[in-house]
A and B are shown apart, each in its own frame.
Chain A
């Protein structure tokens, strides 16, 4: 069984980080597993975990009375879940559930924030990667907003 330090370089989010940094960050991490339909977190919960997905599929959804739960995003192997741990109010805005049996690495948010404070270089490297994820997600989300497949596209 691969250790977390051995796995991290394989995950796209951590590409380009040196070994000492990976070891530092791995200190905040544990392996986790979710069965199908298992909930990772609920909207409103305190957000203090950052997940990187090793295998499986996580669905991000929002609950609405008439529509039920609408899945607005998914993260699969190589993806990440969660950045609400990064900035206040440290609160999840969505529900997250495993669509498939999923293995992930969970990082404690407070621990990660602490490492960023004490080593700004590590902090900056992490911020860059999170910013990249947000950029990609935001671009895709904006394009989906125009409902281009809808009847007026």
Chain B
């Protein structure tokens, strides 16, 4: 945090939300719905999960009453920011067939809905957004639809003060405090004195917006408390993942009998890829109307856990669940590093929480360290 660190009270935070709305953003934040924390449009602090906390473990998610007034006293919600910037279904183009020619008539339009302001983005999810920026914007070709949504997006990150049972952002070096890539970052302080938010400014745009609401300069004490709260949170991670030599460990264990063991539990239900903030695999769906004149192509989420994912004429390359689980974890913790220069896992723990079989990525990675790595040569 720099000398530019400010502080917002509750009124100031409401003013921030109001101002963003006034500026034309659709403000998205965490809300409680159907027993879970989900992102939805918000307009008031009352929309936030005041006094709500969460209990997370393998195949276990419960909300609980904290008995206090904390607005962000929970960890990773059911979904990350991914569905906002990278929706599960996005129209790519439309075509219209006339007598002698087919016209493709969609250039990238402004994304559906006004630009998005995301409030309460956890540091793990923030890192995932930055990864998507790299993967979807800065390689051979860019995803223009993601670009359109992302270009105008405004990010208000929030530090985790109460990590959950499946969190391991510390192991993955992605949190619990947001590291850059945000417009504004909040640390909620409610235990020591007045309920307030220490605000770090990340961009000029963030500074501009913050200037419009009543933010005061942070005192040295505010900064110290914020630091302490984050340090405490770092020490309360629910899980840990040892990352040294992880890539080589996974590459070397391509034939490990351990994969059969995981496969006996994995349902290939794709829940993990659905909730993972970094997963980016998609497929395309072509639909036509009954006349066959109008057609549309959509980009839809896909998962390497589905059998058709690797289909090439005749059959699927990865037919067994065993090979598909191996593919997912090897991509996430090994190949990703060769492809993009970092691990693909941000330690949000959602895949552990939302796996119906309770399969835990940290446990599976550790299991590989336990078994001697065997590369059996097949003739």
Contacts and interface: CB of A to CB of B under 8 A. Distances in A.
A binds B: yes
Interface of A: 152-153
A114 B234 CA distance: 85
A153 B313 CA distance: 7
B314 to A, nearest CB: 4
A152 B314 CA distance: 5
Nearest 5 Cβ contacts at the A-B interface: A152-B314, A153-B314, A152-B313, A153-B313, A152-B315
A29 B86 CA distance: 77
Nearest to A152: B314
B186 to A, nearest CB: 57
Contacts of B313: 152-153
Nearest to B314: A152
Contacts, number: 5
Interface in B281-316: 313-315
A153 B314 CA distance: 6
Contacts of A152: 313-315
A152 B313 CA distance: 6
Interface string B206-225: 00000000000000000000
Nearest to A148: B314
Contacts of B315: 152
A85 B73 CA distance: 86
A152 B311 CA distance: 12
Contacts of A153: 313-314
A38 to B, nearest CB: 41
Give chain B's interface secondary structure class: loop
Nearest to B312: A153
A132 to B, nearest CB: 18
A152 B312 CA distance: 9
Interface in B314-349: 314-315
A52 B284 CA distance: 58
5 contacts: A152-B313, A152-B314, A152-B315, A153-B313, A153-B314
B98 to A, nearest CB: 35
A33 to B, nearest CB: 42
A86 B122 CA distance: 76
B91 to A, nearest CB: 35
Contacts of B314: 152-153
A129 B314 CA distance: 38
B137 to A, nearest CB: 37
A153 B312 CA distance: 9
B319 to A, nearest CB: 14
A57 B314 CA distance: 36
A145 to B, nearest CB: 15
B123 to A, nearest CB: 48
Nearest to A150: B314
Nearest to B315: A152
B272 to A, nearest CB: 32
A61 to B, nearest CB: 29
A85 to B, nearest CB: 31
B317 to A, nearest CB: 13
Interface string B345-359: 000000000000000
Interface in B15-33: none
A152 B315 CA distance: 8
A67 B133 CA distance: 60
A112 B280 CA distance: 68
A53 to B, nearest CB: 31
A153 B315 CA distance: 9
A90 to B, nearest CB: 32
A126 B313 CA distance: 44
A146 to B, nearest CB: 11
A151 to B, nearest CB: 8
Interface string B120-159: 0000000000000000000000000000000000000000
A2 to B, nearest CB: 42
A104 B179 CA distance: 79
A123 B315 CA distance: 47
A122 to B, nearest CB: 31
A92 B314 CA distance: 37
B378 to A, nearest CB: 16
A1 B314 CA distance: 55
A10 to B, nearest CB: 34
A43 B315 CA distance: 38
A3 B313 CA distance: 55
